[in-house]
Structure 1
Amino acid sequence: MKVFRKLIEAEFIDATALRDSQVIFNFKIINNLGERAVLELSVDAPQNWRTDIRDNSNRSFTTVFLEPDESVSAFIKVRIPPDAKYGKEIITLRACGLGVCSTIDFTIHVVEGYDDIQLFSTHPFTSAYVGSMTNIKVKVRNEGLSGTIVSFDVKDLPETYTFTIRDKKGNTVNQLFLESGGEEELEINILIPTGIEPGFVQFTLTAKGETSEAKINLGINILGKYELKVLTENFYLETTAGSKQKFYVDVKNSGHTVISNLRIIITDTPQKIKVDVEPKEIPLLMPGETGRFTLVVNVEPEIPSGDYFVEFKIESASATIARSLRVNVKPREEIAYLSLITVVFIIVALAFLYRRYGRR
């Protein structure tokens, strides 16, 4: 029987597959015989390999009736046994009708199973403030021929940073299973600790399958916000001439990063008033912490009573706040008592003089 007419067409005739797997080849049967014909289909395959011919409605068949130039699309399913030999195998599909046969060979390369893990991220770097939570999205894909369990690990992230890896549903994952060709989007949530300096932190995410491993470099631009808050509200001190009083200035680091070398600088004081600051400096004030300065105000005895103003600034390398302390100086108690006694004595003396000489 001579083969001279093409009754079968296929676009893809080559595939790579694993043991104990299935391959599907699509093809088209065409009646090129010039008259109505019944075409019989058959398959030659290696021993123990199962094949099945089906139409696009998934119905199994081996015979088809076609008018001249009519065609029908179909596919052949090939089941590879678990003990198949590694290498190249040929599956031959034959169509015969009206004494004419046409064949096409499909090639299957049987290989050992392997996974090929890949990592991708459209935005591998992000920016965030100290003390905040940030996230980086990453896609993991298996481009190999077999499914695998994928394990994740983060390296080079400082120990003070904490992280979790979550899937699209918000579940925390350390491992997941990826089929061949499968893809999963993950989100790495990173909590940036307080008390660190701004800068750039780079780390590596590793995804490891059974036969492959992928790495991707990720990074965070750490932003710092310096903010100093004065907790003391009433800058008023009442004192007397010749006395020493203390006034407390409480401050808080309300920003995201460390404030260093914090001190109070006296910028202007009235005459006969001297102000000392204790301590001279607060070396470090961590985010959320409070510190206290003590202003020791010395008032000389000769100073007149009244209101005086001490100008000062709270200063660090990253923040400066100006304040004014109102000092209300009152007379000393002994002077007040002496003045009172003097007034009383004068009143008594005037009364005596009036009683003795006033009636004359």
Structure 2
Amino acid sequence: MTPSTTPAPAGAPDLDTPDISVRGRDTAAEVAPVQRSVRRIALLILSRYGTLIGLLIMLIVFTIKSPTGFLSLANFYNVLSQGSLTAIIAAGLTMTLVVGEFDLSIGYAASFAGLLSVGFMAHNHLPVVIAIVLMLAIGAGIGTVNGLLVTKVRINAVIATLGIGTILTGVGFAYSQFPIASGIPADFTQIALGRLIFGIPNLIFIMLIVLAVLWVVLNKTALGQKMQAVGGNIEAARLSGIRVDRVKTFAFAVSGICAAGTGILLSSLLGSGTLAAADGYLLDAFAAVFLGSATLRDGEFHIVGTLVGVLIIAVAFNGLSVFGAPTWFQPIFKGGILVLAVGLSTLARRYAKAS
């Protein structure tokens, strides 16, 4: 006996036919987490490795365009030498940024140190070593004054350091209104121009030594841990017994020493002491440090990242010069790379907080 089938009323759902709208919602619900995961991974790669990817792309492009001119040992040394002074001054700036402060006096301090160190030798006839040590001590003093103004007088770091830098410009102009280019010992110029080991420029060795020392201080010492604690959460650091003001002042002093060292090496490289010769290193240093903060870490300032940022800038400028880019393009590139650096750093910090 065949069972009878009763037709369903008009408008009633067909129970044997799957509901397409429900299936679409289920599919969308399954796809959404996948899309979020892909987006999160992409942001992670961009925030941590975007600078390294950019550096690799530049190396590939410049090598393809000029395999003999760009990809050579001599040009490799040239790139590192060009970036060495930026790396030294940027490493000092990194220390102040680690503790959550800014130092806008580094370019002016470097120019002042370069002029004064040459003056010590040419006008006051001080031995090279004495002049350099004295100038490094003055650089430490400049940084200490910056630190005391920020920590004790409670002046905003931007205002305090910019004011000190402007004062240094005036003092340097009063010391010598013209470049000092005579009476400079040959031993002094050989510091930057010499090649002691395997034909490698001295500037590269000096840069590596400075970066290695600061990396050890920041990552392998109790003082470095205190600096990172202050930069991470100043109130928690203070409550845990850390002498916050001393830690910040130390960071400013290191920045002043690195700025003075950069000015000394620049004068050795140029063979003269010139007012405002190193002012442009301020922008380069900030661009390098912020590019480095978006490298390997979530927007944190660190020495290895600063070196990567310096290499990006040095490789880019070297490539532009190899291909004959016009001079007016360099300041455009500097400003653009600084905006990009801060943007990548902000993206990395935002992602770190979101995750």
TM-score, normalised relative to structure 2: 0.17
Give the structure with the larger strand fraction: 1
Structure with the greater alpha carbon radius of gyration:
1
Q: Which has the higher contact order (CA 8 A, sep 6+)?
A: 2
